[in-house]
Amino acid sequence: MKTISIIVPCFNEEETINIYYDAMTKLKEETNKFKLEYWFVDDGSKDRTYSILKDLQRDHSDEVHFISFSRNFGKEAALYAGLNEVTGDYTAVMDVDLQDPPEVLPQMFDLLEAKDSEYDCVGTARMDRDGENKIISFFSEGFYKVINKMSQTKIIPGARDYRLMTRQMVEAIKSMTEYNRFSKGIFSWVGFKTKYLPYKNRERSAGTTSWNFWKLFKYAITGIVDFSEGPLMFATWMGTIFSITSIVAIIAIIIRKFVNPLSSVNGWASLVSIILLIGGIQLLSIGILGEYIGKIFLEVKKRPIYIVKDKK
């Protein structure tokens, strides 16, 4: 029987872990097609997550493992930590709040196991955005449009992290040791053939989401800066346009001086607005440079992506 390793990031999830584990156990018994190996990652939770995971591991030491971080390093770091530990034939990534439906897992498994299967990974992607905050939907859709225009790495709109992948793909992702991690981009960047199953939005089993608008916004900027040099071109293009415009203007002024030497001095307001516009664009361009330099700074420091406090 093949083994599926499941990576489950948990941040303040005391209410959901046991619900999740029970649902998965039920699924495993019903399908009886694969063995499971769990890698729960306690991402520096402030509630009882750690002790719940410890108990779970003690009671089911044949299949449950956990890693506990020294502080909150973020879901991306938790996924990476899990990838470094898994040993199964296939590896799945799953949220603990049951928003990633367990019953899809056997379907994913069958697709990968099928004779002559052409897929290396089976993922899930949302078909609609029912039940999501309208403002967040608007910005999410905008984000996917922008990143897919600017980046060579294509990201499927609404793709979730929930997926099952082969050992080979896991090794490929592990080889990407960058500090600024954006999984949606990484999954796509490594290539391999991925099949997306339709996914309908569902509510958390318990607890609350740890995302808010501002966190999502910063995450979106990370995604763009990590997988596209597009914004850097902005300064080059604006610089080119303004240089050409100013050369044309200078020529026009010189000609006017010859044609009509008494042309009067006016246009103070337009002058000020042009200076402001150019100043604004310069600052924006410096800001974009700063975003990239900030990422490079973190990358060259080679800090560890996570720090483990306890592991079993």
Binding-site partner at residue 65 among Mg ion, ligand UDP, none, CB < 5 to 8 Å by type: none
In the list 52, 67, 92, 96, the residue contacting ligand UDP (rule: CB under 6 A) is 96
Residue 15 makes contact with Mg ion by CB under 5 A: no
Which amino acid is located at 26 in the chain? K
Q: CA 81, 85, 88, 93: dihedral to nearest 10 degrees?
A: -10
Smallest distance, ligand UDP to C-beta of residue 159, A: 13
Smallest distance, ligand UDP to C-beta of residue 211, A: 5
Q: Are 19 and 205 in contact (CB under 8 A)?
A: yes
Rank residues 142 and 290 by Cβ distance to ligand UDP and give the closer one: 142
Smallest distance, ligand UDP to C-beta of residue 168, A: 25
Rank residues 5 and 16 by Cβ distance to Mg ion and give the closer one: 16
Smallest distance, ligand UDP to C-beta of residue 192, A: 23
Binding-site partner at residue 78 among ligand UDP, Mg ion, none, CB < 5 to 8 Å by type: ligand UDP
Rank residues 208 and 264 by Cβ distance to Mg ion and give the closer one: 208
Q: In this chain, which stretch among 30-38, 209-217, 220-228, 298-306 interacts with ligand UDP, using CB under 6 A?
A: 209-217
In the list 15, 63, 89, 95, the residue contacting ligand UDP (rule: CB under 6 A) is 95
List binders of ligand UDP among 4-63 (CB under 6 A). Answer: 9-11, 13, 43
Q: In this chain, which stretch among 71-79, 95-103, 179-187, 192-200 interacts with Mg ion, using CB under 5 A?
A: 95-103
Binding-site partner at residue 9 among Mg ion, ligand UDP, none, CB < 5 to 8 Å by type: ligand UDP
Q: CA 73, 75, 80, 85: dihedral to nearest 10 degrees?
A: 90
Residue 99 makes contact with Mg ion by CB under 5 A: yes
Three-state SS annotation for the chain: CEEEEEEEEECCCCCCHHHHHHHHHHHHHHHCCEEEEEEEEECCCCCCHHHHHHHHHHHCCCCEEEEEECCCCCHHHHHHHHHCCCCCCEEEECCCCCCCCHHHHHHHHHHHHCCCCCCCEEEEEECCCCCCCHHHHHHHHHHHHHHHHHCCCCCCCCEEEEEEEEHHHHHHHHCCCCCCCCHHHHHHHCCCCEEEEEECCCCCCCCCCCCCHHHHHHHHHHHHHHHCCHHHHHHHHHHHHHHHHHHHHHHHHHHHHHHCCCCCCCCHHHHHHHHHHHHHHHHHHHHHHHHHHHHHHHHHHCCCCCCEEEEC
Q: Which string of x and - marks every residue 159-198 that binds ligand UDP (by CB under 6 A)? A: ----------------------------------------
Residue 107 makes contact with ligand UDP by CB under 6 A: no
Residue 89 makes contact with ligand UDP by CB under 6 A: no
Which amino acid is located at 153 in the chain? T
Q: Which positions lie near Mg ion, rule CB under 5 A?
A: 95, 97, 99
Q: Which positions lie near ligand UDP, rule CB under 6 A?
A: 9-11, 13, 43, 72, 74-75, 78, 95-97, 99, 209-211
